């Protein structure tokens, strides 16, 4: 698990948040962790699915109400943008399915999600294209 990317340790809205210790998650982290479900290996130029969910680790779900919700999530492969989904507090949830076709990868699948109160969170999943 990579190191936390807090730019300011006392400002959750500054920089990109990652769990500080993957084996000992705080409730705030369980609520915001990005779960990426995708194959570890995909065939070159063949479509595969990437399912992303924000929160839910150990049953600790992220709230979805007008005052606290996931605004959007984005999917990248390395730093190559693949897609974006937007949500409305109280009506749509921080869950998305992308259909992706890659000829190569410059890094892992990477997802960013933004909570309106707790800032930007990152999750990654290694993938090989062959
Ligand atoms: Fe939040």
CA–centroid distance, 106 to ligand 1, in Å, is 30
CA–centroid distance, 10 to ligand 1, in Å, is 16
pLDDT per residue as tens digits for the range 101-126: 999 998 999 999 999 999 999 999 99
The CATH fold assigned to 5-34+49-129 is Immunoglobulin-like (2.60.40)
CA–centroid distance, 84 to ligand 1, in Å, is 19
Query: What is the rounded average pLDDT of the residues 62-83?
Result: 97
CA–centroid distance, 104 to ligand 1, in Å, is 34
Would you place residue 89 in the very low, low, confident or very high pLDDT band (cuts 50, 70, 90)?
very high
CA–centroid distance, 125 to ligand 1, in Å, is 22
Query: What is the rounded average pLDDT of the residues 49-70?
Result: 96
Question: 11 to each of 17, 58, 72, 120, how far by Cα in Å?
Answer: 10, 25, 20, 11
CA–centroid distance, 31 to ligand 1, in Å, is 7
Would you place residue 6 in the very low, low, confident or very high pLDDT band (cuts 50, 70, 90)?
low
CA–centroid distance, 41 to ligand 1, in Å, is 32
Query: What is the rounded average pLDDT of the residues 40-67?
Result: 96
- Annotated domain spans of the chain: 5-34+49-129
CA–centroid distance, 71 to ligand 1, in Å, is 10
């Amino acid at each position: 698990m990579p190191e936390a990317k807090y730019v300011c340790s006392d400002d959750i809205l500054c920089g990109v948040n990652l769990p500080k210790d993957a084996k000992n998650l705080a409730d705030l982290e369980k609520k915001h962790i990005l779960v990426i479900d995708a194959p570890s290996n995909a065939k070159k130029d063949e479509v595969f699915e990437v399912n992303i969910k924000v929160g839910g680790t150990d049953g600790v779900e992220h709230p979805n109400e007008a005052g606290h919700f996931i605004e959007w999530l984005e999917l990248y492969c390395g730093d190559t943008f693949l897609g974006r989904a937007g949500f409305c507090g109280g009506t749509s949830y921080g869950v998305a399915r992308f259909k992706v076709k890659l000829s190569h990868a410059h890094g892992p699948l990477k997802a960013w999600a933004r909570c309106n109160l707790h800032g930007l969170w990152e999750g990654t999943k290694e993938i090989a294209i062959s």
